[in-house]
Chains A and B, each alone.
Chain A
């Protein structure tokens, strides 16, 4: 399905979500508030986005941006769902009850970014040891092991 058709389909079904939709680099992006993330994800699931393909975060310095990539088999397309998590209180709602695929991927985000997921059944570190200090993919993470390359460019 082309991205414009997806937008029209989304706007017809869920007019509330329509103004939040934009197109970036050929991908549909739906930017919502984190309080409304679960509802929006539920709506998209009902619209036909049956798989949670990818889930990650980006450290935007002033806040964290949660990025969810949902894909639909029936529509042969994907969409991004995004929300901003405040840096001083990095908590958002888990999507585990919608897609069990979130089980490990949310643990990974917790491990590497320190974002907590409410309602997650097993919130532990996954890649790093339990006694690791800090969350490496945060931009302010410092460690002796991180080699800073010179700015030769």
Chain B
């Protein structure tokens, strides 16, 4: 956050009536910034000439707080990073702890993690698509996407009692086994969700207004996506075929048959559409995981009450809904980590905003921002 950057908006015209560059403050509290993002925009007429994102309004110092807590006490903090996809941060953190402490996770727990994370991916992408459509004036689609998301969140509530901050994935496994009949409900949910994805595809992506608002807006080349460290649907929309589930596989992902959808133009349309197609793939993964899953333990045997890893450091990453989410932990042998770093995909993707938005129309700023799908809990940490 940079307070000296606050600038007063000019009138846009000098005494002689000739238009001059105008400075606008968008946010920090603005319905289309998807959180507390402050963007200082210079506009010349309607064309954006300069974009300066100001972040940090939601900075809670989570990495510092982690240094003062035991390994198990940190899991609830990871919920508060990406609050639209808490399961990912839970899982990424637990994987790093497991690697550091040499904990082996039972197979059933791995399957459950895959199922809940793919459900989470659908819920998160529905949030992103819903807000993108709402920003572009298609408020009806927002209701369609939130219908699917609500059903998934209800199922998560049944699973662990929380709607957003799950604290479900724990070092060594998951906190509880699945409730009776839960997998049947999930299968029903994927069947009905597929039909709704078809509706969304024809209703929104086939709509001439939506195409006009999204196509050719915020074009990101594949080279820039790689050089700027973009990941997830933001990079795949530009045709960068890079998905950790496929290309650096972890957990039980190698056992599933699924595709990685990619775009070709790298515009907001491709990024949004990649998110929709990923939801179909997530349904496929969930169905395969449920058919392959067998009864068994959901927590590693002989887990210590207090995890004290040997001194060293470990890094692990997973593919979250926003991209590669990494956790780097340094241990000094005590019950508390020496340093925890969350490599947040939303932070790295948001750095692209000035490059993508400059030269666009002012009304496209919210489309570009929405297409990067930032969650500010994760950006600011």
Contact = CB atoms under 8 A, between A and B. Distances in A.
Contact of B315 (A27, A77, A129, A149): A27
Interface in A57-80: 58-59, 67, 69, 71, 73, 76-78, 80
A59 B339 contact: yes
Nearest to A58: B339
Interface residues of A, number: 43
Interface string B327-348: 0101000010011010100011
A50 B226 contact: yes
Given A53-B229, A73-B247, A76-B247, A25 B341 contact: no
A151 to B, nearest CB: 10
Interface stretch (B25-33, B58-66, B113-121, B288-296): B58-66
Nearest to A149: B68
A51 B229 contact: yes
Interface string A33-72: 0000000000000000011111010110000000101010
A133 interface: no
Contacts of B100: 25
B153 interface: no
B348 A25 contact: no
Nearest to A82: B313
Interface string A123-153: 0111111110000110000000011110001
Interface in B39-62: 55-56, 59, 61
B338 A24 contact: no
B1, B68, B99, B306 — most chain A CB neighbours (10 Å) = B1
Contacts of A80: 315
B10 interface: no
A125 B242 CA distance: 31
A125 B2 contact: yes
- Secondary structure class of chain B's binding surface, majority of residues: mixed
Interface in B221-245: 224, 226-229, 240, 242
A49 to B, nearest CB: 11
A131 B5 CA distance: 12
Given A25-B312, A100-B228, A148 B68 contact: yes
A21 interface: no
Nearest to B242: A73
A115 B44 CA distance: 37
Contact of A130 (B3, B64, B240): B3
Interface stretch (A12-20, A84-92, A101-109): A101-109
Most buried by A among B3, B99, B326, B339: B339
A153 B70 contact: yes
A56 B338 CA distance: 14
B247 A147 contact: no
A117 B338 CA distance: 24
Given A137-B63, A146-B64, A52 B380 contact: no
B4 interface: yes
Contacts of A104: 347-348, 350-351
Contacts of B242: 73
A124 B348 contact: no
B324 interface: yes
Contacts of A127: 1, 55-56, 59, 380-381
5 contacts: A56-B343, A99-B228, A112-B63, A136-B64, A153-B335
Interface of B: 1-4, 55-56, 59, 61, 63-64, 68-70, 99-100, 224, 226-229, 240, 242, 247-248, 306, 312-315, 317, 324, 326, 328, 330, 335, 338-339, 341, 343, 347-348, 350-351, 380-381
Interface of A: 24-27, 50-54, 56, 58-59, 67, 69, 71, 73, 76-78, 80, 99-101, 103-105, 108, 112, 124-131, 136-137, 146-149, 153
* 6 nearest A-B pairs in the assembled complex, by CB-CB distance: A101-B229, A127-B56, A54-B343, A104-B351, A127-B59, A56-B341
